[in-house]
Amino acid sequence: MLLAVTKKEGGEYSHKVIRDVQNKYNYLSTQEKAFMKRLFEGTLERMIELDYCIDCYSKVKVNKMKPVIRNIMRMGVYQILYMDSVPDSAACNESVKLAQAKGFATLKGFVNGVLRTIARNKDAIPYPDEKKDYRKYLSVTYSMPEWIVDLWIGQFGQETTTAMLQGLLQERPVTIRMRTEDEKAVEALLADLEKQGGTLRRHPYLPYAYVIGKTDDLTQLSGFEEGAFVIQDISSMLAVEALGLPKMDNQGTLKILDICAAPGGKSMLAADILNHAGIDYMLEARDISEYKVELMQENFNRCHLNKAKAVAWDALEPDERWLGQADVVIADIPCSGLGVIGRKRDIKYKMTPQAVQDIVELQEKILKVAASYVKKGGKLLFSTCTVNKDENEAHVKWIQDTLKMTPVSLNGTLPGLVHSPTTQQGFVQLIPGMQDTDGFFISVFEK
């Protein structure tokens, strides 16, 4: 799995790899699959630190090792440092066996020697000195590329950067949105979860948001097929709340266009809010991928959202039919994804400064098209799942100066727990480690 993700070119996405592998080995016990998942995700998450530790005790540096051996060593060190349930001796022995099984019997002694040395010295590893090189210290301690550490320190300062790095290493819970106020539906879901050893608690930010802990397949829970709940991140819910949709009744049919909609969570929440408020609407949710469009439409059908339809469309391609027609345009646009590194660990290894610059240019092109759809008095929701002022705050000014749109205060629409000095100015940057969310940016404008 690690080989598939860590290839320098054409590496696969970690969430897809783990899903495919677990489906392939579905015959394994729940405990075995959980162990495999934790070892893979943990090794990927801590890879910079693991490589640093290996380099401290190996004459052959990590970047000079054969890819198979490199990843065997990483997994071995992860078990030694972070998996208390695995004895150090077992981590070493299994790594040696794996090296032999992969055709590297001549390197068994090397693998064994380095891993046992690390195991003996695991409480005395010479990490970078915090006072002498704070950037290197943060990079190794929290396994974050130095260029990202530099970026965040420059934009947010050391204190916020440290809190963010800590937050991204914390386990991110799964949140769901209950679509019904029926307490019986919540009770049925809770009963199902308890049978699986899972938990359910209300999220402090929104009354319909719940945090689920310790469960396997959410789609098998009571109420999912009936559309009683949807799986949706709290940040995504907050973005839709920022629009203040219940106050937007224009005495006609509200027209909503979601231009980068997949997997469709924001569109579904917008539809539910308007349905509950008794406001007539029509909603079009778009994505460039036909496959994702099919999945969105399946979700709309499952949730009986008959006024929402999924359409395949490139967000860069202007659509004359929608020019100046939309009451609301939702633009959750492509970004570097730095805010969701805690969930998609491979992002920090795949992203580069040049790639970020390319994304910034792409964002401006998409936003220009998005703004053209907004009618006079209509609203534009611009959001991303990143923490980078070049992709976020810089666009707030650009939208005002170039697209001539006016920021709308978020103080009256977002819960007080996420207010910041900027919510009055029409935007908020959610920061992991400081808010109970992923890294997410939300802004609203009016034409």
The CATH number linked to 340 is 3.40.50.150
Q: Do the domain assignments include residue 128?
A: no
Instruction: Provide mean pLDDT across the span 420-442.
Output: 96
pLDDT digits (tens, 9 = 90+) for 193-244: 777 777 888 999 999 999 988 676 788 888 888 898 999 999 999 999 999 9
Q: Which residue type, as a one-letter code, is found at position 338?
A: L
Q: What CATH number is associated with residue 91?
A: 1.10.940.10
Specify the DSSP class assigned to residue 391. Answer: T
108 and 64 in a common domain: yes
Q: Three-class SS of residue 206?
A: coil
pLDDT digits (tens, 9 = 90+) for 299-314: 999 999 999 999 999 9
pLDDT-derived band at 8, boundaries 50, 70, 90: low
Instruction: Provide mean pLDDT across the span 262-281.
Output: 96
Distance CA 83, CA 111 (A): 19
**Rg of the Cα trace of the chain?**
24
Q: What is the pLDDT of residue 441?
A: 98
Q: What is the pLDDT of residue 246?
A: 87
The residue that leads in pLDDT, 35 or 323, is 323
Q: What is the pLDDT of residue 264?
A: 97
353 and 209 in a common domain: no
For residue 355, pLDDT beyond 90: yes
74 and 140 in a common domain: no
167 Cα distance to chain centroid: 13
| Spatial CB neighbours of 138, under 8 Å, sequence gap ≥ 6 | 144, 149, 161, 162, 165
Q: Do the domain assignments include residue 106?
A: yes
340 and 200 in a common domain: no
Residue whose entry in the numeric block shows the structure tokens 């400081």:
434
pLDDT above 70 coverage of the chain, percent: 93
| 295 close to 263: Cβ distance less than 8 angstroms | yes
Q: What is the pLDDT of residue 136?
A: 97
Task: Report whether the peptide linkage leading into residue 145 is cis, meaning its omega lies within 30 degrees of zero.
Answer: no
Q: Do the domain assignments include residue 189?
A: yes
Count of structural domains within the chain = 4
Integer angstrom CA distances of residue 178 from 234, 237, 277, 303: 12, 11, 16, 11
Q: Do the domain assignments include residue 251?
A: yes
Specify the DSSP class assigned to residue 172. Answer: P
Range of the domain at 215: 174-231
pTM of the complete model: 0.93
- Which of 56, 87, 120 terminates a domain? The answer is 120
| 398 close to 417: Cβ distance less than 8 angstroms | no
Q: Do the domain assignments include residue 127?
A: no
Within a 10 A sphere around the Cβ of 4, how many other Cβ atoms? Answer: 15
What count of Cα atoms within 13 Å lies in the side-chain half-sphere of residue 190?
9
Task: List, in sequence order, the alpha helices (H) in 374-420.
Answer: 393-401
Q: What is the pLDDT of residue 446?
A: 97
pLDDT-derived band at 9, boundaries 50, 70, 90: low
| 266 close to 230: Cβ distance less than 8 angstroms | no
Distance CA 31, CA 89 (A): 21
180 and 87 in a common domain: no
pLDDT digits (tens, 9 = 90+) for 174-200: 999 999 877 887 888 878 777 777 788
261 and 349 in a common domain: yes
Phi, psi of 395 (to 5 degrees): -75, -25
Q: What is the pLDDT of residue 218?
A: 81
- Which of 231, 249, 270 terminates a domain? The answer is 231
369 and 253 in a common domain: yes
